Structure 1
């Protein structure tokens, strides 16, 4: 174990023992003893080391280390074809912007609330993409300025949904493409709220990207959008979107292990906006007090502070959220906090509950896949059958 700690300390930044030890709340001497094999760290210290070194806990516990599971590529081919312009031919008479508005909003409601949202989206999105893009093309040369602007707004909202779908199905390339299309549509519509929302979408794509500097760039994109949004009239919508953008910056700080900066931004910038707007779902961002509290727990989970994360979670009730995805994320991070504490029975209970809440999300989540496979390796015989059956149902092997 000590050799693996030393390996990842040198590999991931080649930092000194003093620096890593200080960030993990232990003495330099204690870390020296761990790396020399003279001390075996507690589960809590080991979790802090794993979080600070940027590796899964199992990488410090297994002989060969592990690679984190990636999102399986599950985007429907028909969705990709439609985005590339290879859908079926469109009639010369497009659907009205108001009809398209209702269809896009229904697709969003389904995406946020349905257990089988990936299956439904794969069926609905191809035709919707074709119809919206056809309407944009027709109205571009038309004389009805109001209809043209409305169809551009519809397109921006659809591309926001597609950003989430493509990211969750492992197609970051398509996710980045539709995030860019959302920005262009919102700018052409001259809609400040949708421009900022499109930047929020881009921020989430960058947070998921593995390229060096992408997570930091997500914060830059978000804060630039907040600054631009300040030029628009102050409304509940502008405050909510600004709050959602601040949360992108919070996640960026946490992902880069800037824990105190993340906590301070959450408390000083995002939380006051949440108090002003209350609970809501402006532009499908689900920004509000509950979402801010969930991010507070996320920071502690990412920092390896499982006990503090669980303390924060005790004050959160997600049942009123309009988004099943956010409910799933909360449950998954709750399971992860218990996982850091090696409370395997509780982890299993939460994972089985998540399978009922959002089975398609569970099968696609890298964090969930890693957690389940790690649990399978170490779980006591009492629970092994249930874990093995979960692995089989999710087709993880």
Structure 2
């Protein structure tokens, strides 16, 4: 049996700006004592493709990363380098430290004596959401707002009487924001915590729509931790609960939330390698819901025809149907999408598609689109960084200067 890798060595390797996802895959494969042929066979890919991944010539999909993490018996976060000690990890930990303290330290009695007025808290939470979804520098603009909001909202939750329900609604909305923020900075542990708090706040508010939105948020975390069956179960349960609440909730937000939950089930099917089931869910459930609900942003899910088509692109990419994925992408008017994150994701999918076609010019073009939309995502998203890392290794001389400049801007070149 192979010896377990040294924690210090793993952290040093994972945190290095020159370490690619492929380097980590190779490292953990060697640590597990498995050959490329064995790992490739278990993962359902060719040995040559695994070799390209390990050499940093290709970037794996999230679904493949989850699969490889199970085969190599390490967390997906280890392959992504989210637990490393390099500059990006330091930035993540710094961003999370004050927030974690606010989440863990009990509310002081002095804060309980005079919590902020609920209308003020509502405005602050809405402003934080607007910053997160619309600002190009969304991490640095939104992150500093969150610790204070947590403390003030937690104090407000001690309110009694008629205002208690409103305080719970505000708390649920804040924890929905914290779920996506903590997930994006690589703190899945905090994402699980705040997703659960959001669910409890929604239940305490006795608000069927918020309860469904809370289940959607929990499902998003479960997808990121490779719990596809659990994510699918919670999505289906929430859809059924909304059907039972049909008489008490408005039709458009109910339909939009059900559609967003069907997208969770769609990605769960992709994670389970059932791409035909994913296509069927899009065709039979998500697209009809999007047509009925129209473009919207109910509880910040950004659900509508544009987002459903974006998910269709992802399904085809995960299925290896790059040509169909790029054809579908041509149908998307991404400027209609109100979310910076979704727009950046769209350009990232295009970059992945062109990488599969070995078109480095297309990869670079769409990475520059990602940088234009969300420059901080270029630093925080491991898959984006890995695409740049791959370009550094293989770009032809005419592209190399632009690639090096991009890598330097995101801190990938020491």
Quickly name the TM-score band, shorter chain normalised: 0.7 to 0.9
1:258 paired residue number: 274
Aligned to 1:129: 150
| CA offset digits 1:37-95 (Å, max 9, x no partner) | xxx99xxxx999x7799369xxxxxxxxxx84334541332111111126775261112
Q: Say whether the 8 Å CA contact 1:274–1:288 is kept in structure 2.
A: yes
Counterpart of 1:226 in structure 2 is 239
| 2:64 counterpart (48, 54, 61) | 54
CA distance in 1: counterparts of 2:373 and 2:111, whole angstroms: 37
Q: Does 1:283 align with 2:299?
A: yes
**Comparing 226-235 with 298-307, which one deviates more in the overlay?**
226-235
2 CA distance for matches of 1:251 and 1:52? 11
Taking the aligned partners of 1:108 and 1:53, their CA distance within structure 2 comes to 28
Specify the alignment match of 2:105 in structure 1. Answer: 85
**Partner in structure 1 of residue 345 of structure 2:** 329
C-alpha distance in 1, partners of 2:333/2:174? 29
Equivalent residue for 1:59? Answer: none
Residue 69 (1) aligns with residue 85 (2)? no
Q: Which of 329, 334, 345 is equivalent to 1:313?
A: 329
Q: Give yes or no for contact 1:81–1:87 (8 Å, CA) kept in 2.
A: no
Q: What's the C-alpha RMSD, in Å, of the aligned pairs? A: 2.7
Give unpaired runs (5+ residues) of structure 1: 25-30, 57-66
Describe the shift of the 1:378–1:282 C-alpha distance in structure 2 as closer, same or farther (beyond 3 A): same
> Given the alignment, which residue of 380, 384, 387 partners 2:400?
384
Deviation of 1:256 after TM superposition, in Å, equals: 2.1
> TM-score if structure 1 supplies the norm length?
0.82
| Contact 1:286–1:321 (CA under 8 A) maintained in structure 2 | yes
Q: Do residues 149 (structure 1) and 165 (structure 2) align?
A: yes
8 Å Cα contact 1:87/1:126 also seen in 2: no
- Hey, what's the Cα distance between the residues in 2 that align with 1:243 and 1:308? 23
Answer whether contact 2:196 2:218 (CA < 8 A) is retained.
yes
Note the alpha carbon deviations across 1:1-51, whole angstroms, 9 max, x for none.
xxx9x9556336748xxxx5xxx8xxxxxx8xx88xxxx99xxxx999x77
2:399 counterpart SS class: helix
- The offset of 1:255, in angstroms, is 2.1
- 1:330 and 1:231, CA in 2 relative to 1: closer, same or farther beyond 3 A? same
Unaligned runs of 5+ in 2: 1-25, 27-33, 67-77, 83-87
Contact 2:58 2:390 in 1 (8 A): no
> What secondary structure sits across from 1:395 in the alignment?
coil
For the 8 Å contact 1:321–1:327, the answer to whether it is kept is yes
Tell me, in whole angstroms, the C-alpha distance in 1 between the residues paired with 2:292 and 2:223: 27
Equivalence for 2:176: 160
Choose from 12, 23, 38 the match for 1:10.
38
Matched, 1:98 2:133: no
Secondary structure of the residue aligned to 1:230 is helix
Partner of 1:195: 211
Q: Name the CA shift for 1:394/1:320 in 2 (closer, same or farther; >3 Å).
A: same
**CA offset at residue 173 of structure 1?**
0.3
Number of aligned positions between the proteins: 351
Helix, strand or coil for the counterpart of 2:303?
A: coil
Provide the rounded CA distance (Å) in 2 between the counterparts of 1:167 and 1:132: 21
Name the counterpart of 2:7.
none
Q: Which residue of 1 aligns with 2:258?
A: 242
Give yes or no for contact 2:63–2:270 (8 Å, CA) kept in 1: no
CA shift digits 1:358-381 (9 cap, x unpaired): 011121112111111111101101
In structure 2, relative to structure 1, the CA distance for the partners of 1:121 and 1:193 (3 Å cut) is same
The Cα offsets for residues 97-135 of structure 1, whole Å up to 9 and x where unpaired, read as: 222111111110110000111111221111111111100
Could you tell me how far 1:216 is from its partner in structure 2?
Answer: 2.2
Change (3 A) 1:221 1:238: same
